[in-house]
Each structure stands twice: as C-alpha cells, then as structure tokens.
Amino acid sequence: MWSPIKTALLVLSPLIPSALIPNFDKHSSNGTYDGPFTDGGVWSKAFEHAKEVTKHLSLEEKVNLTTAVTGPCQANSGGVPRLDIPGLCFNDGPSGPRYTDFVTQWPSEFTAAASFDRELIEGRARRIGKEFRGKGINVELGPVTGGPLGRSAVRPYAGRNWEAFTPDPYLSSTLSFLTVRGMQQSGLITCAKHYILYEQEPVCDGPLDDEGGRTGCEDISSEVDDKTMKELYLPSFAETVRAGTGAVMCSYNKINGTAACESNDALNRVLKEELGFRGFDFGATHSTVASALNGMDMELPGEYFYGQRLLQAINKGSIPESRLDDMVQRILTPWYASQQHTNYPRINYQKYDLSDSKEVNGHVWTNEHVDVRKDNAIYARKVAAESTVLLKNSGVLPLRGIRRIGVFGTDADYPSTLSGCGPDLFCLVGSKRRYWNGTVTIGGGSGAAYADYIAAPIEAMSLRARQSGIRVDHVLQNDPAHYGSMAWIAYQSEVCLVFVSLFLVEGWDREHLRLDKKGEDLIKHVEKNCAGEVVVVMHAGGQVIVEDWIDLPKIGAVLFAGYPGQETGNALVDILWGDVNPSAKLPFTMGKKAEDWPKNNIVRDMGKGHYPVSKFTEGLAIDYKWFDKHDINPRFEFGYGLSYTNFELSGFDIAEMYEKDQDSIQRTNERFKGERGLYDTLYVARVNVTNVGKVAGAEVVQLYMSFPKSEKDQPPKHLRGYGKKYLEVGQTTTISFPLRKKDLSIWDVKQQLWKIPHGTFTFRVGTSSRSLPLKLEVDIQTYY
Ligand SMILES: *[C@@H]1O[C@H](CO)[C@@H](O)[C@H](O)[C@H]1NC(C)=O
Ligand SMILES: *[C@@H]1O[C@H](CO)[C@@H](O)[C@H](O)[C@H]1NC(C)=O
Ligand SMILES: *[C@@H]1O[C@H](CO)[C@@H](O)[C@H](O)[C@H]1NC(C)=O
Ligand SMILES: *[C@@H]1O[C@H](CO)[C@@H](O)[C@H](O)[C@H]1NC(C)=O
Ligand SMILES: *[C@@H]1O[C@H](CO)[C@@H](O)[C@H](O)[C@H]1NC(C)=O
C-alpha cells in the first residue's frame, strides 16, 4: 500500500492554507456539512450501536478513531480503551497476507482472472480472508477492484496492472463482487482500492535516493468524462459496495486537478451518495479540512493531517462535529456488522518482525507464528493451473512419449530470497530496481505476498520427470555467457522448455513491452539449437510482445502463466503433463506492436511546473474494445486460450426472464429509468456446449453484446456473460447468461441516470472475443 516514496511525500508536504485548497466546495465554504451521512443500510443494527456509542465519546476519542497510531500492524488506527474498543489492524494485500509468515502466496488477481471461474475466485477469496483473520488482521488492504482497472489496451505499460483483475469492466465487476463477498465471509473487512482512476504511477524526474526510491515525483491528474467514468471505471466499485465492502481506499492520483482523497465529486457525490457506500474511506492525505469535508473518514498510515490537526479544526468550527460523528459511525458500523467486537482472533503478528513478542507504546504484542495455511496450497495449485493460458500448441503438449527434456532460463529456478529483495519486494540491486533472479511468482510492492516456500518449476518438473523415467538437463541462466552449454543441451533434447519472465513493481511503470533479461534472445537461441520442439513458459505481469519468436518453426507451444504464486511449478507440471487440461483465457489483449495502442502511452511529462495530466481520450474503448473499434488484429485476443480438447456450441437462444436482484448485500442508490431494479435480471441467454474432442476438459463460453446503432459512442462489443463448465468426452451441457438491467443500460449524461437504449441489440456467443460463431438480435422497445 505505501511505498517509501509516498510516505516521504506525505511527511514532507507543507501544510496547505485552507483558503488555497482547490475544490473548496459548498460543504466547506461556511464550515457546515450537509452530508452524505451514513444510515448503515443493511447494517442498521450495527449502525444504531455505533450511533449510541458515538454519543458517549469525547472529541479526543472520536478523533482517535479516525487517526493512525503506532502499533504492531502495517497500519493501525486508534481505539477507545475506556470502552474496550481496540483500534483496527490493517495489512496488505490482494494476493495474501504480506509481512508475516506461515501464510500462502496466492496467484495474483490478474492471474486468477484468467480462470474465468466464479466459484474458484470466490473460493480463493474465502481462503485468503481466513488467513487474514487467523493473524488477527481486521482490515485487508485489498482487493484491487479497478484502480488500476488496467487501461492496458491503451497503457500496457502500467506497473500495477497485475494487481487488479482485468481491463474488462464486466469481468472485473463480477470478480470484484465475488472477492469482497468471499473475503468478508470470514468476518474480515475488505478495502476496495484504489478509488479511482488510478491508472498510472506518479511521474518522477529526480535521481534515485539512497535507498533506490524515486524522487521529484508528482501525482498524475486523471481527466475522464462522466460517461466513461460511470460505464467503465465505476462499475467494479459499485459491485464492491453492493457486496458490502466495509472500507474503500482512495487513490494517490488527482481527479480533474483535485487529490482523489479530497475530491467531493469522487467521494461524497459518487461513492457515498450515488453508490450509497456506508463504510469508511481512507487513503493518500493532503489536507485536514478539505479531506474531512470532502469525504475522507480516516487517515493512515501515520498521523499527518488528522489527529491534533483534526481536533483543532473541529474546535475552530472549520469542520462541524456532525461530520466527525459520521466518520466515527462509518468506521464502527462495519466493525460491529462483521462481529469483530465479539468474536475475532487477537492480533498475532508484527509487521516484518519475527520476534515472539514486542513492546509498542507500553503494550506487549505476542506473535505465535500461527500457521493459517490449512490445505490452501492444494487450492492455490488448482487456481494456478486453472489460470494458465495455453496460447499455442502444435501437439507437443501434453508431454508424452519422450525421454529427454532440456530446461533453460533463470525463471525455472528458485527465486531471489526475501532478504535479497527487501521486505517490500522492490528488489533493489545497486541503483537498479526490479531486478529479480529465479522464477517470478508475484510482482513487487503492496500487491506482493510472502511465500514460505516456492515450488520452483525445476523442482516440480524434476520430480514429475523422474516418475516417468524422463532425463532432465538444465541451464538455468539467461546470460549469453552460457549459450554454449545451452546449445549443447538443446541439441540433445526432444523437448526444450524455455522459461522467461517480466517482473513488475509498484511505483515503476514500464518503459517497453519486452521480457526481462533478454528473454527473447534466450528463446531464439534455444529454438535454433533444439533437437525437438520448444515450449515457452512466460511468467509476466502483463502484455509482452512475442512477434520476434512466436512463429519460428520449432516453437511448438507457449504458455502464459501470469504470476501464479508459490505453487507455480506444481501447477505448471499439471498442465505440461496433461493432468489438468488447460482452460484459462486471456483476460486482456495481446497486441503485436507498441503502435497497436494509442500513442503517448504513459504520461511522462511533468506538466511544466503544474502537475502531469492524463486525458482518457479513448473513452470506453480500452483493451479489446480499442482493437475492435480500430480494426487492429491482435496477436491473441481477449478471451483467447486453447485446450487439449475441442468444443462445439449449438442452440443459442435468449428469452425474457425477470428475476429480482438476489445477491445485493448493500443496495446502491444509482439512479435509473423504469420500474425494474438496476440489478434485476431481465433476460437469460442460453447455449449448449459439447466436448467433441478426445479428452475431458473445461470450456469458458463467452457472451458479447452490441448496443443499438443509435449509441454511436459505444465500442463494437462488450463482454456481458461467461460460464465455465467441465465436460467429459462427448458430454453436452447448457450454459446460461443472466442479463441484468445494468448490463443492458448506458449512462445518460444529460439525465444523470442509467437507461436501456431502444433498438436492436446484437448478442454473439463463442470461445473468445474474436471467435463468436452464433448470433442473435433482440429488439428492445420497453422501459423496464
Ligand atoms: C452554508 O452553506 C450551505 C450550502 O451553500 C447552505 O445550505 C447553508 O444554509 C449555509 N449555512 C449557513 C449557516 O450559512
Ligand atoms: C487512542 O488509541 C490508542 C490505541 O488504541 C490508545 O492507546 C490511546 O489511549 C487512545 N487515545 C485516546 C485519547 O483514547
Ligand atoms: C471531471 O471533469 C469532466 C469534464 O468536465 C466531467 O465530465 C467529470 O464528471 C469530472 N469528474 C468527476 C469525478 O467529477
Ligand atoms: C541476482 O544475480 C546476480 C548475478 O548472479 C547477483 O549479482 C544479484 O545479487 C542477484 N540478485 C538478487 C536479488 O538475488
Ligand atoms: C441443449 O442440451 C440439453 C441437454 O443439456 C438438451 O436437452 C437440449 O435439447 C439442447 N438444446 C439444443 C437447442 O440443442
């Protein structure tokens, strides 16, 4: 969550006189505050409890609840010892608990997204939630639900895209909902982040500091029109609110020139009024009065602008006490609602610290190093295997009938240790950041998770090969100094497995779309010398250009394994030997060259003494929608992925079928036209899928929708449904795609509401965004 740069920025930011705070809106002009106030929504009992307790708190106690204190966790908020209200314990992150031991390093979100498997994603979330709970962490700093969304069709260079699910808002929305619901089932409070439009890192033009941190950094201002915000960037957050997320983290960027954490538009108007968010919000603080009045409820990780300064502002009348009460109620309500006040494990770890006990501010915190993993390794292996995308296959996979394999590249080896890479996994070597040896299982920064072991590809492959009597030779290097021995081994190998990677780190946007450590050269060298076919395994956090090598004659198979977490090698072996039939699909588009995306990828211009500005001029057309709209042929389209078997689709139909919203945990206040609720189902599309190949396997069937032609600003098509089913050879099943009112709606900027446009909708179904054999048209003229 907090890299050293950001903390440094916070500490060094001079106090801005309140008269100069931008966007000093109606709420703060005369020291009054007229909401939005929380009413708890479905948490009404918890809210009444919080309200009652608030009445008995002193000003100091109320302020304490909104302010960071020193404690054992990555961040800690203050409590009220007099009433037995402890502060909250916060810890990263989206792929498992960071800064502690005996936990699982899970496949990252963007990797798990490739499974397109709702049940698996919710199962992953439930298990991660229990690991956090087991350590006594109250609030997880995750999941990443759309900040970044991954404007990757436009900016495949973003250094944090791998932390989030996918640039497709429908897929991201469904996975965000399930992840929040799954994680909170254990009583944990999730924090959907980063709210919002956080699509690139700060721009820096200073030298690296002593610790390799970047200096001279400025936050970028994201400028996005209202329609794009509502239809593309907001839906995933709406789903997390609907799933009842207790917390939201506002982001480090500016929005229309105002810091995201003091944007009245983003926090009060959109998050709290329109989405009806009833929990608390915290994030990058830049002020006291503007932050409090514009919607920031808590300040972490240190006390900079809240604490004493908040107390003074209240005493002076710049912030009314009603606002402080609302902040307190927003913090206490999810805590009571999730029953953390009655039945929650005590904090049982300390950030970075392996000692068994530690005194902080007179309190002794003990650490029993509880093992919270249970059988999660088995599940993590399953998620990783189900998320490995088979991009190319001549038939060389699954491996069979061979006696000699050669393994090449440092990415097959055991990885750098934690100590070599620092606790944040920023992996500094001299002044070089992002330098990772061995296999890449996760990226660096707040999205990283700690592993207690890594099942390296070489380990898992050696064990599996031994069982089948296969000889394994290897040169686990990328350096051309080893090319001689590689050629010698490749020349004797019936199959050559080349491992390449791309290690991405928070704080560092990419400068190019190539692999690390000259991976392309390694592949070409092995391909030239291999006696048999080459299998390329990629561990990468996003788009890689593969044009240099993918069509070379001996490249038999290519696997994109993302960042699969600690079970990497075991999951890979399952796929290579065919114990698991690959079924994952790319959750983003792989283009052929940098020019396939709009120019000026990441804004690197400091903005001439002002601040850097990123205009999202492509609007809704990111990722596959950009490629579709501009008729660009990608190398591999969104939704693409091969299997060891084949499937056929038949009997596509669509029918009206009304079903009231069943799964909203909290209701949103989004405005819409017509009687039916925004999350009610109006239609169901159905299609049959048959396994017509020779082995059992799962297929991900995808439904895409085109709006009526009258909607001229819409990209050609949008994902609006997906279903994954495992089928025996010859088996047929029916996949249903419920279509909710929101799925058929556009945001009407003039009327400020969601509505279904009248006209002919086109639906296509298939097995990738460009393989859509069946089509239906539906004329909609009704206001639902
Ligand atoms: C403060 O401003 C708000 C919004 O302009 C207005 O509704 C309210 O009446 C004002 N209150 C006072 C005390 O002037
Ligand atoms: C603020 O919270 C901390 C941590 O719970 C506690 O030690 C401290 O006494 C609290 N201060 C007040 C004024 O209640
Ligand atoms: C930012 O400004 C644009 C253009 O004026 C506007 O359409 C949009 O709604 C603003 N964004 C927010 C979050 O207020
Ligand atoms: C990676 O390997 C290089 C070359 O052997 C070495 O200099 C460097 O320290 C290693 N880095 C880490 C993080 O282990
Ligand atoms: C679809 O498959 C089901 C069996 O799952 C079968 O009963 C039905 O007739 C099939 N429909 C079409 C249109 O093929």
For the CA of 197, the closest atom of ligand 3 is: 13
Q: For residue range 414-455, what is the model confidence (pLDDT) as tens digits?
A: 987 666 677 888 776 555 566 788 999 999 989 999 999 999
User: In CATH, what class is 388-583?
Assistant: alpha beta
Which is it for strands 75-76 and 718-727: parallel, antiparallel or unpaired? unpaired
Nearest CA to ligand 4 atom 8: 429
d(C-alpha 334, C-alpha 715), whole Å: 39
Identify the sign of the CA torsion 146, 147, 151, 156: negative
- The verdict on the CB of residue 422 being under 6 Å from ligand 4 is no
**30 secondary structure, DSSP code:** T
| Residue in the block written with tokens 């799954």 | 182
- The verdict on the CB of residue 265 being under 6 Å from ligand 3 is yes
Q: For residue range 177-229, what is the model confidence (pLDDT) as tens digits?
A: 999 999 999 999 999 999 999 998 888 888 877 766 778 889 999 999 999 99
Percentage of residues in the chain with pLDDT exceeding 90?
Answer: 83
For the CA of 421, the closest atom of ligand 4 is: 13
Q: For residue range 532-549, what is the model confidence (pLDDT) as tens digits?
A: 999 999 999 999 999 999
pLDDT confidence band for 352 (50 / 70 / 90): confident
d(C-alpha 57, C-alpha 62), whole Å: 6
Q: What is the SS3 assignment for 226?
A: helix
| Residue of 30, 34, 319, 323 best suited for mutating to test ligand 1, as the one with most atoms within 8 Å of CB | 30
pLDDT confidence band for 171 (50 / 70 / 90): very high
Residue 403 buriedness (CB in 10 A; 0-12 / 13-18 / 19+): exposed
pLDDT confidence band for 154 (50 / 70 / 90): very low
DSSP assignments along 169-217, one per residue: HHHHHHHHHHHHHHHHTTTPBPEEEEETT--SPPEE-SPP-TTS---SE
Q: Rounded to the nearest whole angstrom, what is the distance from the C-alpha of residue 508 to the centroid of ligand 2?
A: 37
Say yes or no to pLDDT of 45 above 50. Answer: yes
Nearest CA to ligand 4 atom 13: 420
What's the average model confidence in pLDDT over 574-600?
Answer: 93
Q: For residue range 686-706, what is the model confidence (pLDDT) as tens digits?
A: 999 999 999 999 999 999 999
Say yes or no to pLDDT of 15 above 90. Answer: no
d(C-alpha 643, C-alpha 630), whole Å: 29
Segment among 150-159, 554-563, 759-768 with least mean pLDDT: 150-159
- The verdict on the CB of residue 421 being under 6 Å from ligand 4 is yes
The Cβ-side half-sphere exposure at 572, using a 13 Å CA radius, reads: 35
Assigned token pair, 503: 């290690």
- The verdict on the CB of residue 255 being under 6 Å from ligand 3 is yes
- The verdict on the CB of residue 688 being under 6 Å from ligand 5 is yes
Residue 497 to residues 391, 494, 606, Cα–Cα distance (Å): 15, 10, 43
- The verdict on the CB of residue 70 being under 6 Å from ligand 2 is no
Say yes or no to pLDDT of 514 above 90. Answer: yes
Q: What is the SS3 assignment for 562?
A: coil
- Ligand positioned closest to the Cα atom of 234: 3
pLDDT confidence band for 128 (50 / 70 / 90): very high
Q: Rounded to the nearest whole angstrom, what is the distance from the C-alpha of residue 107 to the centroid of ligand 1?
A: 51
Q: For residue range 716-748, what is the model confidence (pLDDT) as tens digits?
A: 999 999 999 999 999 999 999 999 999 999 999
Say yes or no to pLDDT of 12 above 60. Answer: no
- Ligand positioned closest to the Cα atom of 307: 2
Q: 570 vs 504, which has greater pLDDT?
A: 570
Q: Rounded to the nearest whole angstrom, what is the distance from the C-alpha of residue 290 to the centroid of ligand 1?
A: 17
Q: For residue range 103-118, what is the model confidence (pLDDT) as tens digits?
A: 999 999 999 999 999 9
Nearest CA to ligand 5 atom 1: 688
Assigned token pair, 145: 């639900």
Q: Which pTM was predicted?
A: 0.94
d(C-alpha 142, C-alpha 133), whole Å: 14
- Ligand positioned closest to the Cα atom of 478: 4
d(C-alpha 259, C-alpha 299), whole Å: 14
Please state the domain extents for the chain: 41-341, 388-583, 645-780
What's the average model confidence in pLDDT over 326-350?
Answer: 97
Assigned token pair, 101: 């031991």
Assigned token pair, 290: 């503007």
Torsion angles phi and psi, residue 533, rounded to 5: -90, 160
- The verdict on the CB of residue 31 being under 6 Å from ligand 1 is no
Nearest CA to ligand 4 atom 11: 437
What's the average model confidence in pLDDT over 481-497?
Answer: 98
Assigned token pair, 20: 């100069």
Output the average pLDDT for the chain: 92
Residue 256 to residues 175, 193, 221, 234, 413, Cα–Cα distance (Å): 28, 19, 6, 16, 46
- DSSP H helices, 185-318, are 226-228, 235-242, 289-293, 308-316
Q: Rounded to the nearest whole angstrom, what is the distance from the C-alpha of residue 287 to the centroid of ligand 3?
A: 22
Residue 455 buriedness (CB in 10 A; 0-12 / 13-18 / 19+): buried
Q: Rounded to the nearest whole angstrom, what is the distance from the C-alpha of residue 25 to the centroid of ligand 3?
A: 15
Assigned token pair, 107: 């496949």
**Domain 645-780 grouped into CATH 2.60.40.10:** yes
The pLDDT value given to residue 29: 46
pLDDT confidence band for 151 (50 / 70 / 90): confident
Assigned token pair, 141: 């700093």
Q: Which helix (H) or strand (E) holds 726?
A: strand 718-727
579 Cβ contact partners less than 8 Å away, ≥ 6 residues apart: 573
Tell me the one-letter amino acid at 158.
A
Q: Which residues are marked as active site?
A: 281
Assigned token pair, 401: 């009938």
41-341: CATH architecture: Alpha-Beta Barrel (3.20)
Q: For residue range 233-281, what is the model confidence (pLDDT) as tens digits?
A: 999 999 999 999 999 999 999 999 999 999 999 999 999 999 999 999 9
Q: Which helix (H) or strand (E) holds 471?
A: strand 471-475
For the CA of 732, the closest atom of ligand 5 is: 5
